[in-house]
Every structure is written in C-alpha cells, then in structure tokens.
Amino acid sequence: MHVWLAGLFAYGLARRMGLGRAAALFAGLCFELSGYFVSQAQHLGAVCGAAWIPLAWHGAIELNRRPDARRTALLAAGLAMSFPAGFTAITILAFASTALLALLLWMRRPSHFRPPLFIASAAALAVALCAVQLLPTLELSALSTAYKRGTFSEEGGGIPWQGLVSMLLPGRYGVLDSIEPKFGVNPSFLYLYAGLATLVLALAGIVWSAGWRWVLAVMTGFHLLWMMGATRLPG
C-alpha cells in the first residue's frame, strides 16, 4: 500500500513541478520501484515513512506559492504521517529535507515572510498531531541499535562508498546472491540501483531544468551527504 502511495505522491509532486503526465508517471514509477523500496522491504517502517516525503515536499512547494490553511494542512499531513511509521531516521529526514526545500524556494523571493511562518506552523501542527507517539518514540530510539551504532562501528553509520557503484552495477558486490554483511554493513545498503535511464534523466534534470536547476542540485548534494553519513572515502 505504501509503495503505491509513494508512487502516487511522487507523481503529484512531479506534476506540481511542471512535468507532463507521462514524465510524471515515469517519475512516480521510478520512485516506488527504486532500489530503496526494493532493498528495504524488510524494514517496514523505513518504507512506510519514506512514502510520505513527496507529499511533504508537495506541501512545501504549495505553501511557498500561496500560503493558506489548506496548504498548511497538506504539509502537516505529509510530515505527520512519517511519525507512525516508527522509523525515526526517516522522520528526521522528512523534516530536514522539507525544511531545506522550503528554504531554497523562499530564497527565490525572500521579501515575502508569510511562507516561512506557514511552513513552521505546519511543522508544529505535524508534531502536535503525533504528540501521543513522540515521547515513546524518543525513548525507544535511545535504546535502538542505530542510536548506539557509533559505539561499535568505526564508520558511525551511513552507506559505504562502494554502495555508489550499485547505481550503475547493481550486482557488483554480490548483494543479490547473499545476505551476508559486506564491508561491515547490511547488504541492503549496497543496493541503490534505480535504473540507468532514471539516473541519466535525473542528472539531465539538474543540468537543463532552468526553473529548478540549483534547487535540484542542492537537494541532491544534501541527500548524498546524508546517506553517506560518517562513511570515509577511500584513501
């Protein structure tokens, strides 16, 4: 269900960014069938939480264009629905990436202060909607393996640099044939493949999308650094 929702929300986001129906449909399919959703199927919380991120981004774009109560509710819903998934890392990413997108959009016309106020209100509303789960989640997160990963992992978390190779060669390190840890991490972290056409079109969008070029470039760089975490590059 959430994989289908991920594609639907990505389709809506692409349409809002100006893509035609066919291109938006392709974007939605690429997102819901990407390596993330395929490799994280065993982490239901990660899948369910990530599905709502495109909706949150859609809400941020709408609020930047025309701040009002309806669009505030849209953004609040996208952010709030990542809470019940129970995967704290995804919830943090949803809030952080949406905040960055909102900031980049606002920088286009910084003389208008209504969008940041409405976006902050939407974030506060999202937290309020999930307050009943927030404190238990914070308590549980402090006891999780991921929270303590830095105490037993030299890297401190993040995708190893070898995982980047899987964007071009999905089976390079045998992650499709074995569940044994590789390079000290879960093999699912070494599967980022979303299709060569998808990768080429994503890069083309950054280069040739006049209205979104620098926003897409910054967002791509942010998420690349985020997923690498504390991983050290070779040498």
How far apart are alpha carbons 139 and 147 in whole angstroms? 11
Q: What is the mean pLDDT of residues 88-115?
A: 87
Q: Tell me: pLDDT of 123 over 80.
A: yes
- Of 12-16, 176-180, 199-203, 224-228, which range is least confident? 176-180
Q: Return contacts of 221-229, CB within 8 angstroms, 24+ apart.
A: 222/97, 222/100, 223/97, 226/93, 226/96, 226/97, 227/158, 227/159, 228/158, 228/159, 228/161, 229/155, 229/156, 229/157, 229/158, 229/159
- List the domain boundaries for the chain: 2-141+154-228
pTM equals 0.83
Which has the minimum average pLDDT: 106-115, 180-189, 204-213? 180-189
- How does the average pLDDT of the chain come out, rounded? 83
Q: Say which residue, 177 or 97, is predicted with more confidence.
A: 97
Region 109-125 average pLDDT: 85
For a pLDDT cut of 90, what percent of the chain falls above it?
29
Ramachandran angles phi, psi of 81, nearest 5°:
-70, -10
Residue 47's nearest CA partner among 99, 7, 78, 90 is 90
pLDDT in tens, 11-53: 999 999 888 899 899 999 989 988 888 878 778 888 999 999 9
CA–CA separation, 45 vs 52, rounded Å? 12
* CA distance linking residue 215 with residue 199, whole number of Å: 17
pLDDT of residue 183: 65
Phi-psi region of 66 (alpha: psi -120 to 50; beta: other; left: phi over 0): beta
Is residue 97 scored above 90 in pLDDT?
yes
| pLDDT of res. 84 | 85
> Which comes out higher in pLDDT, residue 13 or 156?
13
Token pair 């239901």 is found at 44
Residue 52 makes CB contacts below 8 A (sequence gap 6+) with 5, 9, 78, 79, 81, 82, 85, 94
